[in-house]
Chains A and B, each alone.
Chain A
Amino acid sequence: MRRSVPATVVVVVGLLLLVNYIVINPLLAGAAEAVLRLVVVLAAGAALAGGVALVHRHGGDLLRGRGDRLGSAVLLAGLAAVPIAGLYPGSQGVADPAVRWLVGALLAPLIASLFAMLFVFLLLAMREGMAIRSRQVTVMLLAAGVVIVLLLPLGGQIGASLATAADWAMAVPIGGVFRGLLIGVAVVTAVHAARVLLVVEGADD
């Protein structure tokens, strides 16, 4: 089988990092560290590339009058504001008061409000889930209900009893299920990663 250049890079670099995990060798360790330094820089480069792609897409929309122009303008304004606040001469970067203001006044409340909304959406999803009338959904909702009861913020004797039950439930049945899940997911992850590294199943894609 003829392997493409990117697939060869994946195999060689991936195996280098894996072998370095289990074999102590200064030469290997040096090569692995060099790869890690490159990956760290590349991950930051990927963020930069994402920003460039967003500017390209929405800047193009704005210039050509396509799509939601107001939305694109708002997005580009937000995208420009933070780097300007953190990169002007003399700026303290992320710790600059202007950046912290943008985070505290805009970014954090926007994300927090979205996450808070999810409580409502979850309730709606449960209602919709029951519309399909399957036993599986019933089991899931009953389990969710049991966990909620166990976490009710009650004091006194009831609270103490619930806390004892919650402690047992988290350690034994829930702990057992999630240990099985973690093991199962770890096996699946390991097998899939090995297939990628060995270029099985069209990893070139």
Chain B
Amino acid sequence: MTERTSRRRGFLSVPGLWPFLLVSALALGIVLDGVIGGDQLQSANPEAARAAEMAAALDALPDGALVLVAMDPDLGTYPEIRGTVRAVLDDLLGRGARLALVSFTAEGRAVAAAELQRLRAAGVDPGRLFDLGFVAGAEAGLVLSVTDLRPAAGTAPASFAAVAGGIAAFDLALVVGGVDIGPRTWAEQVTPRLPDLPIAAVVPTFLHPEVAPYLRTGQLVALLGTFRDDAAYLLAVGAPSGVRDATSSPGELPMLLGLLIALAFIGRAVASHRPGLGTAAAREPEEPA
């Protein structure tokens, strides 16, 4: 190790320095987002098939459709999909749909309560918003809800009778997924019992590989599963209320900077690799897992 490298490592090993530099770079990216880059930076996926599938799923709804919104994101990962979820909800309300929100996780319930409050504060007709509360029991609760979906005491208006038939009474299920309950759980537990119910889903990017195979099988009719697909959808439908910048959320420049930093880490780590120096166990290709 050269003296220069040693000095650099010492500099970066100051507690909190390099995370501070990373956050500073992202902050600079956020401030300069839109100023630098122009057309060369674009979050919206040019391959807009996923956004088009979501639009098609909503186009297929009848007038005054009854849509079940299964709000089960994790509180920690919801910020990534918040703008997209709001855009889809706004899109549905704009098409005259009635929305019923239900949660099968406690964190999802917290998000659902906040989103319901936001929609009510925005002046959405209370007769088009139903609060079906929280159903415990994960998969068991989901299966029970296929035939028995009821509001928690005092959380739904009298017109709830319209949606009292369980999940089967709905024209579409929009699943906002998280780690515990998501589109996969719905595909496994609800689709076999209600094969005609169309299910659309919005999930954070990290769940995309796990959920995408269900799109190919037709168990999902639409899936927004990466920040680029989300941005393409946002670009298509316009800015929902309460989103900082609908067309570029979470921001092209800071995302680009962060991804380049991650690539630099990977590149540096891989470049420093000397396969010949590994242990015998580490070199064994037969049982790598």
Q: Do chains A and B touch in the complex (CB under 8 A)?
A: yes
CA distance A145 to B40 in the complex (A): 21
Would you give the shortest CB distance from B172 to chain A, in whole angstroms? 24
A145 touches B267 (CB 8 A): yes
Contact flags B90-117 to A (C-beta < 8 A → 1, else 0): 0000000000000000110110011011
Q: Does A66 contact B (CB under 8 A)?
A: no
Q: Does B283 contact A (CB under 8 A)?
A: yes
B152 touches A93 (CB 8 A): yes
B278 touches A133 (CB 8 A): yes
CA distance A40 to B134 in the complex (A): 11
**A130: which of B78, B133, B269, B288 is its contact (CB, 8 Å)?**
B269
B259 touches A148 (CB 8 A): yes
**A134: which of B19, B40, B138, B283 is its contact (CB, 8 Å)?**
B283
Contact flags B247-289 to A (C-beta < 8 A → 1, else 0): 0000010011011011101111110111101110011010010
Would you give the shortest CB distance from A111 to chain B, in whole angstroms? 4
B19 touches A153 (CB 8 A): no
**B114: which of A93, A103, A129 is its contact (CB, 8 Å)?**
A103
> Which residues of B lie under 8 Å from residue A120 when comparing CB positions?
19, 22
**A36: which of B131, B137, B212, B213 is its contact (CB, 8 Å)?**
B137
Q: How many residues of A contact B (CB 8 A)?
A: 65
Would you give the shortest CB distance from B255 to chain A, in whole angstroms? 5
Contact flags A38-66 to B (C-beta < 8 A → 1, else 0): 01111110010000000000000000000
B residues whose Cβ falls under 8 Å from a Cβ of A: 19, 22, 39-43, 45-47, 49, 74-79, 106-107, 109-110, 113-114, 116-117, 131, 133-138, 140-141, 143-144, 147-148, 152, 154-155, 192, 205, 208-210, 212-213, 216, 226-228, 231, 252, 255-256, 258-259, 261-263, 265-270, 272-275, 277-279, 282-283, 285, 288
